[in-house]
Amino acid sequence: MPFDVSLKIGNAEFKNPVFLASGPAGYGLEYEGIIDLSRIGAVVTKTITLNPKEGNKGKRIWETPCGLLNSIGLENVGSDTFISKKLPEIISKGIRCIVSIAGEDWKEYRRLVEKISGCKEIDVVEINLSCPNVDRGGMVVGSDPDLLAHYIKVAREALGGVTLIAKLTPNVKDISRLAVVAEEAGADAITAINTVLGMDIDLERRRPVFDRVIAGLSGPAIFPIALEAVWRIARSVDIPVIASGGISKVEDALKFFMAGAKAVQIGTGVFYDPSLPEAIIDYIEENGVPERIE
């Protein structure tokens, strides 16, 4: 008999604790036929904003020896198209969905959460408080404890019983302090981490690769950073921690569980090995989820 690896976060239930992270998985639909999405605990959508966004100009993806730099800039279809077209298709495919959201400013964010509150199909939201590739919102909010608390409190009030997950940036002095602030403001869980700041230079063009110069680094290079952050956060808060950052093999996920994570998100790793999420699920169904170590 396989182990029961189901999980509850807030009011939301998941068949297992293996999720696809926001960004690389798109809306989830892009991996149909490549990954058995019905087996995945949840797919976190690419971040949705109130209005459509074209994203950043110039190069957006750049490989590094141990990971991937990205400067996507929250490109997405906007809340109206997502709710009317993308979300019904996601649900029809049997995909368990977590909707990632962000606002570039306070007015836009408030209108976005109010719109989502009227959509009964959305029962889990991950608030992206950590994107480094936009000028407003994102990491600017997530690195300010007062703003972070304000954003979460408004979402908590507007969305009622919807499960709220706060995604935090590692590009701060003390991520565990921000996790405590998020918990106190009403978050049901913490996702840690988002990308680490980085850059590269194109030798042929003799200029930075990205128009914005700074981009977000993901992939195996950031795994030790994410592991340490999850370890600290799990010992600072009572709500679940969802680990994200650099998972490239089954063993990485097991280490996150041992560090204190209740669930894991695979992001860049699916580019290199689309079978990885199901391999992790196979392992924990056969052996159980590793217990946290002290």
Residue 143: per-residue pLDDT: 77
Cα–Cα nearest to 60, from 212, 247, 242 = 212
The pTM for the full model equals: 0.95
Tokens 């110069």 correspond to 213
CA distance 187 to 252: 26
- Specify burial of residue 237 (Cβ count, 10 A radius: 0-12, 13-18, 19+): buried
Catalytic residue among 66, 97, 119, 131: 131
Range 249-252, long-range pairs (CB < 8 A, 24+ positions): 249/276, 250/276, 250/279, 250/280, 250/283, 252/223
Taking CA atoms, 216 is separated from 148, 170, 185, 195, 206, in Å, by 20, 11, 27, 5, 20
Assigned token pair, 18: 């293996």
What are the contacts of 197-205 at 24+ separation with CB within 8 A?
197/132, 197/171, 198/64, 198/69, 199/69, 200/62, 200/64, 200/69
Query: Does the active-site annotation cover 66?
Result: no
Tokens 């509850």 correspond to what residue?
Answer: 8
Instruction: State how far the alpha carbon of 86 is from the alpha carbons of 189, 199, 213, in Å.
Output: 25, 33, 32
- Rounded Cα distance, 47 and 10, in Å: 21
- The tens-digit pLDDT sequence of the chain (294 residues) is 789 999 999 999 999 999 999 999 899 999 999 999 999 999 999 999 999 999 999 999 999 999 999 999 999 999 999 999 999 999 999 999 999 999 878 889 999 999 999 999 999 999 998 655 444 444 456 678 998 999 999 999 999 999 999 999 998 989 999 999 999 999 999 999 999 999 999 999 999 999 999 999 999 999 999 999 999 999 999 999 999 999 999 999 999 999 999 999 999 999 999 999 999 999 999 999 999 998
- For 120, the 3-state DSSP assignment is coil
Instruction: Classify residue 83 by its DSSP letter.
Output: I
Q: Which domains does the chain have, with CATH numbers?
A: 7-55+74-197+220-287 (3.20.20.70)
For 29, which DSSP code? G
Show the tokens assigned to 2.
């396989």
Residue 280's SS3 state is helix
